[in-house]
Amino acid sequence: MKIAIVCYPTFGGSGVVATELGMALARLGHEIHFITYSQPVRLALLEKNIYYHEVDVPEYPLFKHQPYDLALSSKLVDTIKAYQIELLHVHYAIPHAYAGYMAKKMLKEEGIFIPMITTLHGTDITLVGSHPFYRTAVTFSINKSDRVTAVSKNLRDTTYAMFDIQKEIEVIPNFIDIQRYIEKAKEPCDRTLMALQSEIIFTHVSNFRAVKRVEDIVEIFARVNEHHPSVLIMVGEGPERIKAERLAKQKGVYDKVKFLGNSVEIDKVLCMSDIFLLPSSEESFGLAALEAMANKTAVISSNAGGLPEVNIHEHTGYVCEVGDVEQMSAYALKLAQDSDLLHTMKTNALESARRFDLPEIVPIYERLYESAYASRHQNQD
Q: What is the nearest approach in angstroms of ligand GMT to the Cβ of residue 302?
A: 11
Write down the H helix ranges in 28-131: 68-83, 98-109
- Residue 74: C-alpha distances to residues 35, 55, 82 (Å): 11, 9, 12
Q: Counting contacts by CB under 6 A, is residue 211 touching ligand GMT? A: yes
Separation of alpha carbons 123 and 307, rounded Å: 14
Residue least distant from ligand GMT (Cβ): 122
Encode burial over 252-280: b for 16+ CB neighbours within 10 A, e otherwise.
ebeebbbbbeeeeebbebbbbbbbbbbbb
Rule CB under 6 A: choose which of 19, 118, 159, 207 binds ligand GMT. 207
Q: Is 19 in the site for ligand GMT (CB under 6 A)?
A: no
Query: x/- contact string, 100-129, with ligand GMT (CB under 6 A)?
Result: ---------------------xxx------
Q: Write b or e for each residue in 110-136: b if 16 or more Cβ atoms lie within 10 A of its Cβ, otherwise e.
A: eebbbbbbbbbbbbbbbeebbeeebee
Give the nearer residue to ligand GMT in terms of CB position, either 123 or 159. Answer: 123
CB of 99 to ligand GMT, least distance (A): 17
317 touches 311 (CB < 8 A) = yes
Binder to ligand GMT among 13, 40, 100, 317 (CB under 6 A)?
A: 13
The CB-of-305 to ligand GMT minimum distance in angstroms stands at 6
Counting residues that bind ligand GMT (by CB under 6 A) gives: 20
Q: Which is nearer to ligand GMT, 284 or 295 (CB)?
A: 284
Give the CA dihedral 71, 72, 77, 78, nearest 10 degrees.
60
Task: Report the nearest approach of ligand GMT to the CB of residue 288 (Å).
Answer: 7
Indicate whether 362 belongs to the interface with ligand GMT (CB under 6 A): no
24 or 211, CB closer to ligand GMT? 211
> What's the rounded Cα separation, in Å, for the pair 325 and 322?
8
Pick the stretch among 25-33, 64-72, 277-285, 347-355 that binds ligand GMT (CB under 6 A). Answer: 277-285
Report the distance separating Cα 173 and Cα 61, nearest Å.
Answer: 42
283 binds ligand GMT (CB under 6 A): yes
Phi and psi (nearest 5°) for 11?
-75, -5
Nearer CB in complex with ligand GMT: 163/285:
285
357: which DSSP letter? Answer: B
- The angle subtended at Cα 278 by Cα 160 and Cα 11, nearest 5°, is 80
Q: How far is the CB of 182 from ligand GMT (least distance, A)?
A: 22
Least Cβ distance, residue 177 to ligand GMT (angstroms): 15
Which of 287, 292, 294, 328 binds ligand GMT (CB under 6 A)? It is 287
284 binds ligand GMT (CB under 6 A): yes
The answer to whether 280 touches 302, Cβ cutoff 8 Å, is: yes
Please name the residues in contact with 172: beta carbons below 8 A apart, sequence gap of 6 or more. Answer: 119, 149, 150, 151, 361, 364, 365, 368
Q: Can you tell me which of 20, 86, 219, 282 binds ligand GMT, judged by CB under 6 A? A: 282
Answer yes or no whether residue 17 interacts with ligand GMT by CB under 6 A.
yes
Q: Is 151 in the site for ligand GMT (CB under 6 A)?
A: yes
Q: Does 216 bind ligand GMT (CB under 6 A)?
A: no
Out of 285, 331, 365, 369, the only residue in the binding site for ligand GMT (CB under 6 A) is 285
- Angle made by CA atoms 265, 267, 271, in degrees to the nearest 5: 135
- Is residue 240 within 8 Å of 212, Cβ to Cβ? yes
In the DSSP assignment, the letter for residue 302 is: E
Write the CA distances from 333 to 201, 225, 275, integer angstroms.
12, 9, 11
**β pairing state of 298-302 and 275-278:** parallel
Residue nearer to ligand GMT on the CB measure, 191 or 241: 241
Residue 206 contacts ligand GMT per CB under 6 A: yes
Q: How far is the CB of 6 from ligand GMT (least distance, A)?
A: 13
Name the segment binding ligand GMT (CB under 6 A); options: 7-15, 65-73, 136-144, 188-196: 7-15
Q: Return residues touching ligand GMT (CB under 6 A).
A: 12-15, 17, 121-123, 151, 174, 206-207, 211, 282-287, 305
